[in-house]
Structure 1
Amino acid sequence: MRHGKKVNHLGRTDSHRKAMLANMASSLIQHKRITTTLAKAKALRGYVEPLLTKSKNDTTHSRRTVFSYLQDKDTVNILFREVAEKIANRPGGYTRIVKLENRLGDNAEMAIIELVDYNTVYGKDAEAKTEKKSTRRRGGASKAKAAAPATEKAAAPVAAEETVETAPVAETTPAVETAPAAEETPATEAPAADDKEENAEKGE
């Protein structure tokens, strides 16, 4: 009996299954994304992720260990040179499985398995965009705070304008008052000068 044995044989012998998973892992590392059945994708995830973790430590022993699984020198070089740099800061979870529509011929469940760090749709750019959107949504309280200083700033120029407007009015009023005073003084002085002249003539 198979109690507790969760390995999916995928309808193949052990040697056939290992060879198939090695080929699929090589294709995934080279092309960064492959389309297969959902069952094979789940089996491949458990097969390839330990190899990706192994590639973070670039030693001769690690390369030989990975080569014993993949049996492809070119794939091992790509894994240790390119892929290892991309996944250096990721603590596991290097692959993503996306379900597709069932296959037309036999109605099998299909899926895409891909390397997470090589997808531009769900990558860091998209995370940055969503962060920007979330900050805009969160800004309900901050908007009110920002609106209050804005109204204060708007009120300050209005008050300045009012002071500027009242200042010329205050200046014009004394100008109007001083102008008639200046005009009246010579008018009052002129008759006084004439009276003096008349008195002087009479005195003569």
Structure 2
Amino acid sequence: MRHGLVTKRFDRDKGQREALFRGLVTDLLKYEKITTTESRAKEIRKVAEKMVTLGKKGNLSARRQAAAYIYDEAAVDRLFGEMAKRYAERSGGYTRVVKIGPRAGDGAAEAIVEFVK
């Protein structure tokens, strides 16, 4: 039974799933827009929102927490610099998921995850 489970498993163990999320969130922070499957997009949206909240805090503790999760140091700098300023007045809802239809190869539902301007 899956009572009380928060995230989907994506047919991976915990370490692989965490690495998948970390990679996708790092790419989202670097490029501000990524294309992935719809279910992955909905899951990484939660993590990306938390990362932007850490960026808005701006203190050393928040920076270390973000740096421990995000793979690229340049993405951390961007999060705490440019993105923290952009979303300073916004209280949530930093990302959007736009469905774009089935993928050509296997028919999986794809979506674009992007930061709101």
Q: Identity of counterpart residues, as a percentage?
A: 38
- Structure 2 Cα separation of the partners of residues 41 and 65 of structure 1: 22
Report the residue type matching 1:31 in the other structure.
Y
Report the residue type matching 2:111 in the other structure.
A
- Relative to structure 1, the CA distance from residue 61 to residue 6 in structure 2 (aligned partners, 3 Å threshold; closer, same or farther) is closer
Aligned to 2:4: 4
Aligned to 2:23: 23
- Structure 2 Cα separation of the partners of residues 29 and 103 of structure 1: 23
- Deviation at residue 54 of structure 1 after TM alignment: 1.0
Q: Give the SS at the match of 1:101.
A: strand
Aligned to 1:111: 111
Aligned to 2:92: 92
- Structure 1 Cα separation of the partners of residues 76 and 109 of structure 2: 30
Aligned to 1:174: none
Aligned to 2:50: 50
Aligned to 1:61: 61
Q: Which ranges of 4 or more aligned residues in structure 1 deviate by more than 2 Å?
A: none
Report the residue type matching 1:82 in the other structure.
E
- Structure 1 Cα separation of the partners of residues 31 and 83 of structure 2: 11
How does the TM-score come out when normalised to structure 1?
0.55
- Deviation at residue 71 of structure 1 after TM alignment: 3.3
Report the residue type matching 2:88 in the other structure.
A
Q: Give the SS at the match of 1:110.
A: strand
- Gaps of at least 5 residues in structure 2 are none
- Gaps of at least 5 residues in structure 1 are 118-204
Report the residue type matching 1:105 in the other structure.
G
How does the TM-score come out when normalised to structure 2?
0.94
Report the residue type matching 1:19 in the other structure.
A
Q: Give the SS at the match of 1:100.
A: strand
- Structure 2 Cα separation of the partners of residues 64 and 72 of structure 1: 13
- Deviation at residue 113 of structure 1 after TM alignment: 0.4
- Structure 1 Cα separation of the partners of residues 26 and 7 of structure 2: 21
- Deviation at residue 72 of structure 1 after TM alignment: 2.5
Structure with the larger helix share: 1
Q: Deviations over 1:89-116 (max 9, x none)?
A: 1110000000002012111000000000
- Deviation at residue 79 of structure 1 after TM alignment: 0.5
Report the residue type matching 2:34 in the other structure.
I
Structure with the larger strand share: 2
